[in-house]
Amino acid sequence: MALGTGYEQQGCHLARALEVVGERWTLLILRDCFYGVRRFTDLREHLDISRAVLTDRLDTLVANGVLTREDSDGHPEYLLTETGRALWPTIFSLSKWGERHTSGPHPARLFSHAACDTDIDDVGHCHTCGEVPGPEDLVVRPGPGTNAMRRSDRVARALERPHRMLTPIDTASGPAGG
């Protein structure tokens, strides 16, 4: 039986949300945008995604107000809107679900509250401040352990160092530690 192409017959908001963010690759694109990846070429290189698929996903996210496309020195950059930033709890929760219920030869990413340098818990709570900081108030870094899936692209190298979420990632730097 062939799969349908949409959720038109589903009368619920989850179906509407899946029409925007439910396609393969979309949540990984958004994850990278939260990490500060803004350029098409960096997204493409880091995700190993085809140009056509990335273009389609980005066009959908822009058309639905999740991202904006802006010109920066002749290069398109994609930035999260408030609508896009509202997806952070979902992306964080799904990532934590993956840590608990799947496995892989790579460490988890750790998130700390920038204001007090305290790691947040699995529901995003900072026990030092009692807050649930938004993504703009978080620093992401690799967790302990060996990464058997270590990548060498510019974004992966930049994410080997602690990085303030939503700030543009510096892909011009060399790998951490040399």
The pTM for the full model equals 0.90
CATH 1.10.10.10, domain 6-84, yes or no: yes
Contact assessment for residue 161 and residue 174, using Cβ atoms and an 8 Å cutoff: no
User: What is the rounded distance in angstroms from the CA atom of residue 142 to the CA atom of residue 125?
Assistant: 19
The per-residue DSSP string of 73-99 comes to: TTEEEEEE-HHHHTTHHHHHHHHHHHH
Q: Bridge-partner residues for 141, per DSSP?
A: 110
pLDDT of residue 95: 95
Q: Bridge-partner residues for 138, per DSSP?
A: 113
User: Looking at this protein, which amino acid is placed at residue 106?
Assistant: H
Domain ranges of the chain: 6-84, 87-164
pLDDT of residue 177: 41
User: What is the rounded distance in angstroms from the CA atom of residue 57 to the CA atom of residue 49?
Assistant: 11
Per-residue pLDDT tens listing for the chain (178 residues)? 554 567 777 888 998 999 999 999 999 999 999 999 999 999 999 999 999 999 999 999 999 999 999 998 888 999 999 999 999 999 999 999 999 999 888 889 999 999 999 999 999 999 999 999 999 999 999 999 888 788 889 999 999 999 999 999 987 754 444 3
In three-state secondary structure terms, 140 is strand
